[in-house]
Amino acid sequence: MPAAEGSIDLSAPLRPADLRRAATPVPVVAGAGVHDRVQRGRDFLRDVLREEERPVYGATTGFGALVGFPGREEEADQCDNTLAHLGAGQGPELAHEVSRAALLVRVWSLAQGRSGVSAHVIDGLAAMFATTFVPAIPRYGSVGASGDLIPLACAAQALRGRGEAYVDGRRMPAAEALSQAGLTPLTLDGRDALALVNGTSLTTAATALALDGVRSSHRAMQALTCLLVDLLGCDPGFLDPRLIAAYGHPGAADVADGMRKHLAGIVPAGTRALQEPYSIRCSPQLLGAAEDALRYVDGVVAADLSGVSDNPLFFPDDDLVVHGGNFFGQPAAFASDVLAMVTAQLGNLAERQLDLLVDPARNGGLPPMLAAGPGRQHGMQGVQLATTAFVAEIRHAALPVSMQSLPTNLHNQDVVPFGTQAALRAHDGAALLRLLCGSLAVGLRQAAHVGARRPTAPGCAALLDALIEAIPPVDPDRPLEADVRKAAELVVDVW
């Protein structure tokens, strides 16, 4: 039976857009074939467990470095054995959109039938997404190897009615939250519990959400750069297709093509220097390199969203239980570090363009700080100070995490990717980059108020008009925090 329109179907490929949708209530359904393949994997697990000579990690054994010792005999006890010792997370809680996205990635992986889980685990997780239930998950504790064990264990406990959770944005005991959301606490055995935690679903989700955010800001930066060019009356020759073709990079060619279309109809002022500063002249090369890097991250995220992250995996057709390392988040760790580097350079570009715009020596004679009455007013001065702080924060967080491996777990995990840390830092950076785009947008709007020319390219004029409608001029001075956020929403989410 086909899934209802607007729902997320666990029998279909998982897309990054689905993770965004999961932040708010959305129907998640186990479509065609999901229950059959999940039940087949479960029946195969039961058959294997009846054969004493075929141990199954986590179902009959201890965990991690204690795999050589037998687990608990009762299934319910083995579940407790799995989850209790992982209750060691600390720090601030994950953003709700990240927590719910991680659980969507997890249930999709389990729904592929390779994990040996009970069918009611799929149904219970799917039911959660139609509500506002969110497990309260601490940020720190995962090393992104053997899966995101500690944060996912916290989520699993909340789904059992233990720990804390949110409903309608209110924090409360998880059992109460389940009741208010109309959900039934999950009943798990050892294999169910291990399958819920033994994957890199948090790492994958945070990477995908960060990618979505950075991509949106990357598109916004192309439009904002064009508006800056037109407001200042720059010559668009730095986008000449012959010049860019000679550069040889496909991302630059595609970005420059889009910027030329946005600037179609521009009439240069004829008052600018022969060569613009690099923040304008080299923008297609910089934004193009970012595009090439983001395409690499696109591929990693697509692979992670279509892969099964667990250990062991079950293959009934081949009578195989395969123990391995599909819970190792190295691809997302590398991709998230690339995202962080892209974010740092895009953020720097936005900050440098704003700096150029507020400087009367370079902005074509507009007043310093774009103040309507310099001295009596200060225009963009506070916003520019904030952008400098944002860039410093992004740079600090851009230190590569994926090569910081530390052995742990009695050297059972003797190499680890730290993908969770890399992904969450990339997610943080994406949020700051969004604010940098909003800050630049407010500056461009203010430039129009204090004397910049009317854009001559229709595409640029339309963007400026949208900003003028959304953001009042800074005259007199006022707090601009809300304006920066509103401008970010306009240029990043809407434009």
pLDDT tens across 455-490, in order? 999 999 999 999 999 999 999 999 999 999 999 999
Confidence at residue 442, expressed as pLDDT on a 0 to 100 scale? 98
CB within 8 Å of 272: residues ≥ 6 apart:
232, 233, 234, 235, 364
Of 228, 8, 31, the residue nearest 105 (C-alpha): 8
Among candidate residues 148, 177, 199, the one where a domain is terminated: 199
Confidence at residue 1, expressed as pLDDT on a 0 to 100 scale? 45
Residue 138's H or E segment, with its range, is strand 138-140
Q: Does the pLDDT at position 5 exceed 80? A: no
Asked, for residue 388, whether it belongs to a domain, the answer is yes
pLDDT band at 196 (very low <50, low <70, confident <90, very high): very high
User: What is the distance between the alpha carbons of residues 42 and 118, in angstroms, rounded to a whole number?
Assistant: 6
pLDDT (average), residues 307-315: 95
pLDDT (average), residues 220-226: 98
Of 227, 231, 228, 252, the residue nearest 241 (C-alpha): 252
For 332-360, give one letter per residue: b (16+ CB within 10 A) or e.
bbbbbbbbbbbbbbbbbbbbbbbbbbbee
3-class DSSP assignment, residue 185? coil
Q: Does the pLDDT at position 163 exceed 60? A: yes
Residues belonging to the chain: 495
Asked, for residue 3, whether it belongs to a domain, the answer is no
Q: Would you call 182 exposed, middle or buried from its count of C-beta atoms within 10 A (0-12, 13-18, 19+)?
A: exposed
Asked, for residue 423, whether it belongs to a domain, the answer is yes
Residue 321's H or E segment, with its range, is strand 320-322
151 with 180, same domain?
yes
DSSP annotation string for 3-19 = PPTTSEETTS---HHHH
177 with 239, same domain?
no
Of 250, 208, 1, 256, the residue nearest 102 (C-alpha): 208
Q: Would you call 37 exposed, middle or buried from its count of C-beta atoms within 10 A (0-12, 13-18, 19+)?
A: middle
For residue 395, give both structure tokens: 């740079």
3-class DSSP assignment, residue 88? coil
Confidence at residue 69, expressed as pLDDT on a 0 to 100 scale? 84
Query: Given the structure tokens 């989410």, which residue do they identify?
Result: 493
Dihedral of CA atoms 181, 187, 188, 189 in degrees, nearest 10, equals: 180
Cα separation of the two ends of the chain? 37
For residue 235, give both structure tokens: 């010559």
DSSP strand pairing (28-29 vs 8-9):
parallel
Among candidate residues 179, 199, 219, the one where a domain is terminated: 199
220 with 343, same domain?
yes
Radius of gyration of the chain (CA): 26
Of 203, 422, 410, the residue nearest 326 (C-alpha): 203
pLDDT band at 333 (very low <50, low <70, confident <90, very high): very high
Q: Does the pLDDT at position 3 exceed 60? A: no
118 with 223, same domain?
no
Q: Angle, nearest 10°, between helix axes 75-84 and 149-159?
A: 130
For residue 293, give both structure tokens: 């890097």
213 with 323, same domain?
yes
3-class DSSP assignment, residue 186? coil
Confidence at residue 227, expressed as pLDDT on a 0 to 100 scale? 98
77 with 217, same domain?
no
173 with 260, same domain?
no
- 67-86 confidence digits (pLDDT tens): 888 888 777 788 888 899 89
Residue 140's H or E segment, with its range, is strand 138-140
Asked, for residue 1, whether it belongs to a domain, the answer is no
Do the Cβ atoms of 124 and 186 come closer than 8 Å? yes
245 with 387, same domain?
yes
Q: Does the pLDDT at position 2 exceed 70? A: no
- Percent of the chain past pLDDT 90, that is, above it, reads 86
- Beta-carbon-side half-sphere exposure of residue 217 (alpha carbons within 13 Å): 32
130 with 263, same domain?
no
Q: Does the pLDDT at position 247 exceed 60? A: yes
CB within 8 Å of 306: residues ≥ 6 apart:
13, 14
Query: Given the structure tokens 């005259």, which residue do they identify?
Result: 475
Asked, for residue 353, whether it belongs to a domain, the answer is yes
- Percent of the chain past pLDDT 70, that is, above it, reads 99
Q: Does the pLDDT at position 160 exceed 90? A: yes
- 53-71 confidence digits (pLDDT tens): 888 888 888 877 788 888 8
Of 129, 283, 96, the residue nearest 205 (C-alpha): 96
Of 324, 312, 326, the residue nearest 49 (C-alpha): 312
Asked, for residue 469, whether it belongs to a domain, the answer is yes
pLDDT (average), residues 213-238: 98
Dihedral of CA atoms 152, 158, 164, 165 in degrees, nearest 10, equals: 90
158 with 243, same domain?
no
Query: Given the structure tokens 């064990």, which residue do they identify?
Result: 149
Would you name the residues annotated as active-site residues? Answer: 57
Question: What CATH code is carried by the domain that includes residue 487?
Answer: 1.20.200.10
Asked, for residue 89, whether it belongs to a domain, the answer is yes
Question: What CATH code is carried by the domain that includes residue 88?
Answer: 1.10.275.10
User: What is the distance between the alpha carbons of residues 223 and 464, in angstroms, rounded to a whole number?
Assistant: 10
Mean pLDDT computed over every residue of the chain = 95
This prediction has a pTM of 0.96
Do the Cβ atoms of 341 and 290 come closer than 8 Å? no
pLDDT (average), residues 207-235: 98
pLDDT (average), residues 371-384: 97
Asked, for residue 238, whether it belongs to a domain, the answer is yes
Residue 57, amino acid: Y
User: Range with the lowest mean pLDDT among 142-151, 252-261, 388-397?
Assistant: 142-151
Of 395, 427, 434, the residue nearest 219 (C-alpha): 434
Among candidate residues 149, 178, 199, the one where a domain is terminated: 199
Of 301, 326, 423, the residue nearest 14 (C-alpha): 301
pLDDT (average), residues 216-237: 98
Q: Does the pLDDT at position 4 exceed 80? A: no
Of 254, 221, 213, 266, the residue nearest 491 (C-alpha): 221
Do the Cβ atoms of 327 and 311 come closer than 8 Å? yes
Residue 55 domain boundaries: 8-199
337 with 215, same domain?
yes
**In the chain, how many domains are there?**
2
487 with 347, same domain?
yes
H helices present in 237-329, as ranges = 241-247, 250-262, 278-281, 283-305
